[in-house]
Amino acid sequence: MNWFPKHPIRKLLRPGDALVLLAGIAGWVMLSVSLWQSGPAAQAQVRRDGVLVAAYPLNEDRTVSVTGPIGTTMIRIESGRARVVSDPGPRQYCVRQGWLTRPGEMALCAPNHISLTLTGGQPTYESMAY
Amino acid sequence: MLRRLILTPDDHRIARLTAAAIAIALVESAVPSPLPGVKPGLANIITLLVLLRYDWTTAAWVTLLRVLAVSLLVGQFLAPGFVLSLGGALASLLALFIVQPLVRCQSRWFGPVTLSIVAALAHMLTQLLIVRAWLVPSPGVWVLAPVFFGAALFFGSLNGLIVAWLMQPNAGGVASNENLPHNTQP
């Protein structure tokens, strides 16, 4: 058995190597959890003053308007994502946020007391081809 | 009038090592992979051995020549696969250039496994970015990122351990000093 490593694994995997590997594994776990913890977003929920006023499936394209204290907020649902298209608020934060795609993402139009949230739920089936 | 090409020992050395790397890469390209883009990258063992035995410049030559030659042999020169290989190779060479002082100056603490993991991660990340920006312009690409990340960690560690094993004085003489000419190691 001349070819078999005579040195223990410690010689091959030095302390710093082990640290690099552990850091890599930690990063990998964090990445996997953040990307896979919830399936695709399935539903858009519209709330006024924190109260659910409407919920729409994301697989049907539509435009929704919700009236709040200072005007009308327009919400667009399109190809599995949703966004606030227009809002009477002065700073337009929720409009500039753009498309929401993942469960848990939220656009808050505070001046008009409207919020748009995506939730998960039953995964929608997509086809995938190589 | 014919102009004579003068071949230095360096040229011979690079050619020999590149030939070995090409052979490994060709064999590997014939093995089917469960997911496009996931493969062991065993030819990088040669890159790391060259980096540790000689220097970064030689390793860069060997790697880039290998990428070029393999793409010609497999028939995907200038095809997307070639761009991905070249991008990955350039990124991992850059990463190796940055990390190598750590291994050279702190060799008690850091060895081939560190080099291999860092290079594999740089390779994977760059290819993912190229795919995202050019081939599949959709955020859905990131859903596969953990798969590629895990494969890079696993095969990076494996290749690093193989290199560490080959670098040992008594490992069957595969990479020991007497078998490689013009050794620059002190």
- Total structural domains in chain A? 2
**Which residue, among B4, B120, B131, has the nearest Cα to A28 in the 3D structure?**
B120
Q: Which comes out higher in pLDDT, residue B105 or A2?
A: B105
Residue B172 has pLDDT above 80, yes or no: no
Shared domain check, A85 and A30: no
Judge if A62 and A112 occupy the same domain.
yes
> Does residue A110 share a domain with residue A72?
yes
Which of A32-41, A44-53, B24-33, B93-102 is least confident? A32-41
pLDDT at residue A120 tops 80: no
A121: pLDDT confidence band, cut at 50, 70 and 90? low
Helix or strand (DSSP H, E) at A71: strand A71-78
Domain identity same for A67 and A6: no
- List the single best residue of A14, A101, A126 to mutate versus B (max B Cβ within 10 A): A14
- State the Cα–Cα distance between residues B152 and B92, nearest whole angstrom: 12
Chain A residues in contact with B150 by the CB 8 A cut-off are: 28, 32
Residue A124 lies inside a defined structural domain of this protein: no
Q: Same domain, yes or no, for A47 and A33?
A: no
- A55 part of a folded domain: yes
Task: Give the rounded distance of the alpha carbon of A16 from its chain centre.
Answer: 35
- Tell me yes or no: is domain B9-179 CATH 1.10.1760: yes
Distance CA B71, CA B56 (A): 22
Q: Is residue A130 part of a domain?
A: no
Structural domain containing residue A16:
1-37
Give a yes or no: residue A23 inside a domain.
yes
Nearest to residue A71, comparing CAs of A92, A87, A52? A87
Domain CATH code at residue A80: 2.60.320.10
For residues A74 and A68, the answer to whether their CB atoms sit within 8 Å is no
Assess whether A4 and A27 both reside in one domain: yes
Mean pLDDT along residues A18-43: 84
User: Dihedral through CA B160, CA B163, CA B167, CA B172, nearest 10?
Assistant: 140
Q: Which of A12, A35, A101 sits opposite B161 (nearest CB)?
A: A12
Average pLDDT over residues B101-123: 92
- Best mutation target among A1, A4, A9, A12 (most B Cβ atoms within 10 Å) is A12
CA dist B154 → A24, A59, B150 (Å): 10, 38, 6
% of chain A beyond a pLDDT of 70? 82
Residue A128 lies in a domain: no
Chain A CB contacts of B143 below 8 Å: 35-36
Residue A104: inside a domain: yes
Contacts with B145 from chain A: Cβ below 8 Å: 31, 35
Binned at pLDDT 50, 70 and 90, residue B171 comes out as low
pLDDT(B123) > 90: yes
Give me chain A's average pLDDT, please.
81
Determine, yes or no, domain membership for A63.
yes
Domain boundaries, chain B: 9-179
Whether pLDDT at A122 is above 80: no
Quote the ipTM score: 0.79
For residues A20 and A54, state if they share a domain. no
| Residue A125 domain flag | no
Q: What is the pLDDT of residues A42-82, one digit of tens each?
A: 889 898 888 889 899 988 899 999 999 999 999 999 988 89
Choice between B155 and A125, residue whose per-residue pLDDT is larger: B155
Q: Would you call A31 and B113 a contact, using CB atoms and an 8 Å cutoff?
A: no
Chain B residues with CB under 8 Å of A101 CB are 139
